[in-house]
Amino acid sequence: MNPPIDRRRFLASAAVSGATIVGASALGALDPAAAFADPTPSLDPAIDTAAFAEGRVTQIKGSALEVAGSSGDQYILQITNGTSIWKVHPTTIDAIEVGDGLYARGVDMPDGTIAPDAVWVNIVNLHCTISAIGRDRIQLDHNNNALVGNVLTGTTTASYLGGAQTPDLSGLKIGQAVQVLGAWRPADDSVDIVTLWAGH
């Protein structure tokens, strides 16, 4: 019988060797909504608690991201082939740019880095009011600040009154309160809309 795998050693080995980790989600869900969920206990008894990092990417060195946290913390995230990366849709480290914001969840490594199982890049979860509707843009008001929401063909969906998500945005109305899950565009301060929830 083989001894149980030590997860920290396994992730450290994968970070160094670039091995593919299948299903590295013992820390929780990988979908974008999980970035805002309350922490849940690890499904892996070898991990007491998950490590979290948030902030802006200041440097990218190979598969390592240097991140400046909003409260002054500094992080180094060692991306592995098993890291799930989301930036509007599942992607790779090549889509991450200096200046991007992120949330990450993973495992603290002995060298002080974090080996993340999930990284959500530029993700936002906003409560807004619709102020104007166009074909490819929705003007939003967020805390009395104007915000442009970009409608992405084939990506943007809406959910009305708790119903299933649909690409049909015709049920949206000016003055309606919505919750927006999307990705911030640092270049122009707009948001790419992934999902709008109306009437929840």
| pLDDT bracket for residue 35 (50, 70, 90) | low
Predicted TM-score (pTM) of the model is: 0.75
Q: What is the pLDDT of residue 174?
A: 97
| pLDDT bracket for residue 199 (50, 70, 90) | confident
Q: What is the pLDDT of residue 86?
A: 94
What are the start and end residues of each CATH 2.40.50.140 domain in the chain?
123-198
Look at the alpha carbons of 56, 120, 198, 152 in this order and tell me if their dihedral is positive or negative: positive
**Measured between alpha carbons, how far is 12 from 23 in angstroms, rounded to an integer?**
16
SS3 149: strand
CATH topology of domain 123-198: OB fold (Dihydrolipoamide Acetyltransferase, E2P) (2.40.50)
Q: What is the pLDDT of residue 10?
A: 37
**Measured between alpha carbons, how far is 73 from 55 in angstroms, rounded to an integer?**
9
Q: What angle do CA 94, 123, 50 make, to 5 degrees?
A: 85
**pLDDT tens string 113-133:** 999 999 999 999 999 999 999
With 80 as the cut, is the pLDDT of residue 75 above it?
Answer: yes
With 80 as the cut, is the pLDDT of residue 146 above it?
Answer: yes
Q: What is the mean pLDDT of the chain?
A: 83
Per the model's pLDDT, the better-predicted residue between 5 and 87 turns out to be: 87
Phi-psi region of 191 (alpha: psi -120 to 50; beta: other; left: phi over 0): beta
Q: What is the pLDDT of residue 188?
A: 94
What are the start and end residues of each CATH 2.40.50.320 domain in the chain?
7-121
| pLDDT bracket for residue 24 (50, 70, 90) | very low
Question: Residue 186's Cα: distance from chain center in Å?
Answer: 15
With 60 as the cut, is the pLDDT of residue 17 above it?
Answer: no
**pLDDT tens string 38-65:** 554 544 444 557 899 999 999 999 999 9
CATH topology of domain 7-121: OB fold (Dihydrolipoamide Acetyltransferase, E2P) (2.40.50)
Q: What is the pLDDT of residue 49?
A: 73
Lowest mean pLDDT among 13-22, 87-96, 101-110, 184-193: 13-22
Where are the extended beta strands (E) located within 39-171? 51-61, 64-68, 74-78, 84-87, 89-91, 101-108, 114-121, 123-133, 137-142, 145-151, 157-160
Question: Residue 50's Cα: distance from chain center in Å?
Answer: 16
